[in-house]
Amino acid sequence: MSVRSRGFSLLELLIAMSLFLVLGAALVALLTRALDFLDTGTGGTEIQDKANDFLIPFKTDIEGVVVERSLMPGTPAIRFQCDFVDVDSDGNGSNDYRAQRLVFVRSNSREGSDAVARMSGTRPGADAYLDGSKDVEEAEAGKLRALRGMEEVLYIALPDDPTNPGMLTLYRGTRSPPGGPGTLFDAKSPARIRAVAQPLLKGVLHFGVAFWTPRSADWNINYGKSGGDSPVLTWDSTRGVLPQGQNPGQNQFAFARGAKSLSDPRDDISPRALRVSFVFKRTGRDSVEGQLMKALDEGGRKATVDSTAFAAGAARDFIKIGTEWMSFSGRTDEVFSLTSRGARGSSPSSHERGDMVHCGASVVRTIMIPSYREDWNFR
């Protein structure tokens, strides 16, 4: 007896299709979670890599700071200085941004391991410096001066794109031996700094340092006037280069003693510790930015954006529009409620509709300086 074959009924097909849809949805959800997990891991690795790219050389440089009591007249070649330089961030011809500049002298062990450094000081009358410009040619011609085991180091973050002035490039410059014509301590204009320093990291939103003093009670910074028990934002180890005062915005130093101190090494000082704050832009799916949907004047307390979701994972409650940082106490889907303007040492300014709004990954580290000197003589 033959058995007649038959196809699937409509009900059976509908059941099979439903099962496939459920299984497909579960598979898509599983793949999405796996991709999110992979992307989160990649993002975390990127953050760690960028933090290390900055922190490892910076910490090594700071821990190698050299302190030396110079008995020579005039400004000593070996010193520790932090001040601010004026910058035209948007290319309109007027300075609208102040960048914190850190310059110091550190020990340099390259003379025994670097082939170019070993050729320094081999001929009398050498007058060139190991500074990253034509070093090989100058070394082969015997023009490099003896390095003396020390080098100047410069750190500063500058805006390089006038169309996006809030985005900075962190520069690091070195020069050995310290002092002499062209010293990094005299590199104060952005053009000069870019000529003597090399880009270390792009996509930087903030770079700032603060210094501990015997008067400091904690690391909370009063950006308006860094006196009293607040850490200071400027430093002058000679106590004679920067003018005396409490306002870092005017490059004043709270513990300055006047020009006469330049030739008196007995009162030279270097900080016991510094705290560096570094914020950089995330990339890829973790890119943290939005767009301003309404113009914001200097006194505005509401920042309306396309979406505030980009700030959901922010380590601290700060956003940056142009060159200005702002702190916020709360947010809705499209509005930040601002608590302070001109945060992190920036200046309040007006912003146009369409300006980019940034929020980045923050790195804050306290670094001890082994060779600090505190011969304060306050009175």
Amino acid of residue 44: G
The verdict on 163 and 234 lying in the same domain is yes
Domain contains 3:
no
The verdict on 73 and 214 lying in the same domain is yes
The verdict on 199 and 138 lying in the same domain is no
The terminus-to-terminus CA distance of the chain in angstroms comes to 119
Domain extent, residue 302, equals 289-359
The verdict on 207 and 332 lying in the same domain is no
Tell me how far apart the alpha carbons of residues 348 and 225 are, in angstroms, rounded to a whole number: 16
**Phi and psi dihedrals of 331, rounded to 5?**
-155, 145
The verdict on 38 and 135 lying in the same domain is no
DSSP of 88-156, one letter per residue? -SSSSSS--EEEEEEEEEEE--GGGT-HHHHTTT-STT--B-BSSSSHHHHHHTT-BPP-TTEEEEEEE
The SS3 call for residue 288 is: coil
Q: Which two tokens stand for residue 96?
A: 């609208």
pLDDT in tens, the chain (379 residues): 455 556 667 777 778 788 888 887 778 777 766 555 555 444 456 667 778 888 999 999 999 998 876 666 678 889 999 999 999 988 888 898 999 999 999 998 777 678 888 888 888 888 899 898 888 998 889 999 988 889 999 999 999 999 888 899 999 999 999 999 999 999 999 999 999 999 999 999 999 999 998 888 889 877 655 556 789 999 999 999 999 998 888 899 988 988 888 877 778 888 999 999 999 887 655 566 889 999 999 999 999 999 998 887 665 689 999 999 999 999 999 999 999 999 888 889 999 999 999 988 888 999 999 888 776 554 4
Q: Can the peptide bond before residue 177 be classed as cis, meaning omega within 30 degrees of 0?
A: yes
The tally of domains found in the chain comes to 3
The verdict on 241 and 324 lying in the same domain is no
Tell me how far apart the alpha carbons of residues 32 and 47 are, in angstroms, rounded to a whole number: 22
Instruction: Identify whether the C-beta of residue 170 lies closer than 8 Å to the C-beta of residue 276.
Output: no
Domain contains 208:
yes
Tell me how far apart the alpha carbons of residues 355 and 164 are, in angstroms, rounded to a whole number: 9
Q: Which two tokens stand for residue 214?
A: 């015997």
The verdict on 165 and 187 lying in the same domain is yes
Domain contains 283:
no
Tell me how far apart the alpha carbons of residues 102 and 236 are, in angstroms, rounded to a whole number: 10
Domain contains 284:
no
Domain contains 165:
yes
Tell me how far apart the alpha carbons of residues 181 and 81 are, in angstroms, rounded to a whole number: 17
pTM of the model: 0.83
The verdict on 160 and 242 lying in the same domain is yes
| Residue 301 burial (CB count, 10 A) | 14
Q: In this structure, which long-range contacts are made by residues 187-193, counting pairs with CB atoms below 8 Å and at least 24 apart in sequence?
A: 187/103, 187/154, 188/85, 188/101, 189/85, 190/85, 190/87, 190/88, 190/99, 190/158, 193/85, 193/101, 193/154, 193/156, 193/158
What are 147-187's pLDDT values in tens digits?
A: 888 999 999 999 999 988 889 999 999 999 999 999 999 99
The verdict on 313 and 196 lying in the same domain is no
The verdict on 88 and 34 lying in the same domain is yes
The verdict on 266 and 321 lying in the same domain is no
The verdict on 143 and 251 lying in the same domain is no
- Cβ contacts of residue 103 below 8 Å, gap of 6+? 80, 81, 82, 152, 153, 154, 155, 184, 185, 187
* Cα R_g (the chain), whole angstroms: 28
| Residue 219 burial (CB count, 10 A) | 14
